[in-house]
Amino acid sequence: MQVEFISGGVTLRGHLARPKAPTSSVTGRFGLVLCHGFPHDAPGKRTGPQAYPDLADRIAADTGWTVLSFDFRGAGASDGDFSLGGWLADIGAAVALLRSTGEVDAVWLAGFSTGGALALCAAGEDHDIAGVATFAAPADFEHWAADPRRFLEHARTVGVVRSKGFPADFDSWSRELREIKPLALIGKIPPRPVLIVHGSEDDTVDLMDARALTDAADNMVDLRVLSGAGHRLRHDPRAVAVLLGWLDRQHI
């Protein structure tokens, strides 16, 4: 089912996957929001957001959960332009939409790369989020904050900043790159469950980010390092299997 919802005045579009029937009484009425990463390629070439409806369908079929995948502002079919704070607000709007369906009793988050990092921030700020799974998530966004004007041009190149005059306030836009820190918020999540999955050969986000996040949560996380895996864990069958197994063990 295709859905539209509003986040801060921006129209977002997504895909809601419903199970035919719960796989067991243990799963109850659980919901999951899937959060994609920052696109790697220019418009017309990227495969980021487009791949997630298929993953949502598989999770719904295998686990009996209701799963929402969506395109962040500026990405895929959604309107708007990228900002880190805007993407964080988008997660909150997606969670609110899933809760508003009346079909779930609790909502978890799962995110890849930037989406995973922001999922940690969202769960740190919203104690009603039941748990978080992240894949190849950075511990902070200092690599973007170090040269925000260059990063803004990159965001234009990959098509997540589309409006000519955006951002109206560059200083505020760039400040979010420094101030939004998964490393500072992950410690607020436990004892709610946290899964951190990272590839040993990730050349985009260093494995040390996963270890730093684990340390910041006082090791109260399930850390999985996939031997030989790179950054794009969405396409690694082992990562998907780890996520499905982790979801199967969740309860409230």
- In which band, very low, low, confident or very high, does the pLDDT at 251 lie, cut at 50, 70 and 90? confident
The token pair that represents 73 in the structure block: 């502002």
β-sheet bridge partners, residue 133: 110, 195
CA angle 147, 121, 231 (to 5 degrees): 65
Q: Of all helices (H) and strands (E), which one includes residue 22?
A: none
Q: Which long-range contacts (CB under 8 A, 24 or more apart) does 54-62 make?
A: 55/234, 55/240, 56/15, 56/16, 56/17, 57/17, 58/240, 59/17, 59/32, 59/34, 59/243, 59/244, 59/247, 60/17, 60/18, 60/19, 61/17, 61/19, 61/20, 62/23, 62/244
Confidence (pLDDT) at 51 = 80
Is residue 168 predicted with pLDDT exceeding 50?
Answer: yes
pLDDT for position 177: 98
Residue located via tokens 């982790």: 246
> What is the average per-residue pLDDT within 52-60?
95
Arithmetic mean of pLDDT, 32-58:
79
For residue 45, what pLDDT band results from cuts at 50, 70 and 90? very low
pTM, whole model, 2 decimals?
A: 0.94
* Structural domain harbouring 148: 2-248
The count of structural domains within the chain is 1
Tokens at residue 124, please? 């740190």
- Residue 23 contacts by C-beta under 8 Å, 6 or more apart in sequence? 62, 63, 64
Q: How far is residue 94's CA from residue 7's CA, in Å, rounded to a whole number?
A: 8
Write the DSSP assignment of 123-186 as a string of letters: HHH-TTEEEEEEES--S--HHHHTSHHHHHHHHHHTTS---TT--S-HHHHHHHHHH--HHHHG
Tell me the sheet residues that pair with 7. Answer: 10
CATH code at position 167: 3.40.50.1820
Average pLDDT over residues 111-129: 98
Alpha-carbon distance of 125 to 128, in angstroms, equals: 9
Q: What percent of the chain has pLDDT over 90?
A: 90
End-to-end CA distance of the chain: 27
Contact 106, 33 (CB under 8 A): no
CA gap 118, 194 in Å, rounded: 13
